[in-house]
Amino acid sequence: MAQTLNLALAGAGAFGIKHLDALRNIADVRVVSLVGRTLQPTQEVAARYGITHVTTELQESLSRSDVDAVILCTPTQIHATQAIACLEAGKHVQVEIPLADTLAGAEEVARAQKAAGKVAMVGHTRRFNPSHQWLHGKIIAGELTVQQMDVQTYFFRRKNINALGQPRSWTDHLLWHHAAHTVDLFAYQSGEIVAANALQGPIHPELGIAMDMSIQLKSRTGAICTLSLSFNNDGPLGTFFRYICDNGTYIARYDDLIDGKENTIDVSKVDVSMNGIELQDREFVAAIREGREPNAGVAQVLPCYRVLARLERQLAG
């Protein structure tokens, strides 16, 4: 039997709860500390999951000798500083996407990981969804080559609220959060990105961000990607990936996959779960136990953040 791995989880909101549900399915893993912005709702979540230590201060969790690793599901703007704090405290860390909201922040985390020698992983969930895993296996085996990816990432979010409809303490971002999923996945499936262009719509007068964005990418293999993102779209919601390949067309939505003629492809045997978040957490735990770099380790995803920084400079110019 493996030794129990004790985790702290910071961020008891919608995505933190997804991780708590996923971690329940992983053997010999225990969440021993829960960090939240306000005490009472965090205590309520902790009670549901049998977590005994609750705090509003990450540093309090980091000071505990029984905490081996941390999962950060906190606001984007503090991901980098919190990840560095975890590493400097001698804890392994998984940071929910995005790693940072600047390239400088992402690079600082990479330096901290190298200095600490701990596992540092980023929640690029698309690498782990069974639908995208199935396609990745075919690509690696030489059975498919991506010619074009057409991706739609659509939400209806004209107020500062989270996935549960609750007020947010921070502002989400189409480029530094939602585009990061596709930029990383496109490179993962088709190779290094060698060209990138972006356009954005009007800036929201209250939120201060663009609510619509269009991004074009090209990989070293010649594959292209068109990504459309919106916070103005009133349904259907979510992200839809169309893979146009040399040997078939496939449409992925989270953990589900169909071909171009709408035939369902069974991806239930691709991995031990159909839940991408659970598979992501399993990889984090396995990398710690095996003393190796995880899939979506900080060094692996840095190229994504270099592309985002390049796009940000374009949009600002």
Tell me the average confidence (pLDDT) per consecutive run of 10 residues in the chain, 317 residues long: 90 95 98 97 97 98 98 96 98 98 98 98 98 98 98 86 62 89 98 98 89 97 98 92 98 95 97 97 98 98 98 94
Same-domain status, 135 and 256: yes
In a domain, 11, yes or no: yes
Same-domain status, 260 and 291: no
Same-domain status, 150 and 53: no
In a domain, 315, yes or no: no
Same-domain status, 92 and 135: no
Same-domain status, 141 and 261: yes
Alpha-carbon gap, residue 113 to 100, rounded angstroms: 14
Total structural domains in the chain? 2
Q: CB–CB of 181/125 below 8 Å?
A: yes
Helix (H), strand (E), coil (C) string for 95-107: EECCCCCCHHHHH
Q: What are phi and psi of 76, to 5 degrees?
A: -50, -45
Structural domain boundaries enclosing 190: 129-270
In a domain, 309, yes or no: no
Q: CB–CB of 112/105 below 8 Å?
A: no
In a domain, 306, yes or no: no
C-alpha 293: how far from chain center: 17
Predicted pLDDT of residue 153: 96
Same-domain status, 136 and 121: no
Alpha-carbon gap, residue 134 to 298, rounded angstroms: 23
Predicted pLDDT of residue 164: 60
Q: Is the dihedral of CA 76, 80, 81, 87 positive or negative?
A: positive
Predicted pLDDT of residue 159: 74
Same-domain status, 18 and 83: yes
In a domain, 280, yes or no: yes
DSSP letter assigned to residue 30:
E
Alpha-carbon gap, residue 63 to 85, rounded angstroms: 11
**CATH number of the domain bearing residue 191:** 3.30.360.10
Neighbours of 188 (CB within 10 A): 20
Q: The pTM is what?
A: 0.94
Predicted pLDDT of residue 252: 98
Alpha-carbon gap, residue 133 to 276, rounded angstroms: 10
Same-domain status, 167 and 65: no
Predicted pLDDT of residue 48: 98
Q: CB–CB of 306/187 below 8 Å?
A: no
Same-domain status, 262 and 205: yes
**CATH number of the domain bearing residue 105:** 3.40.50.720
Predicted pLDDT of residue 207: 84
**147-183 b/e with 16+ CB inside 10 Å = b?**
bebbbbbbbebeeeeeeeeeeeeeebbbbbbbbbbbb
Same-domain status, 25 and 85: yes
Same-domain status, 67 and 148: no
In a domain, 308, yes or no: no
Partners of 142 in the β-ladder: none
In a domain, 68, yes or no: yes
Q: Are strands 193-200 and 212-219 parallel, antiparallel or unpaired?
A: antiparallel
Same-domain status, 103 and 177: no
In a domain, 286, yes or no: yes
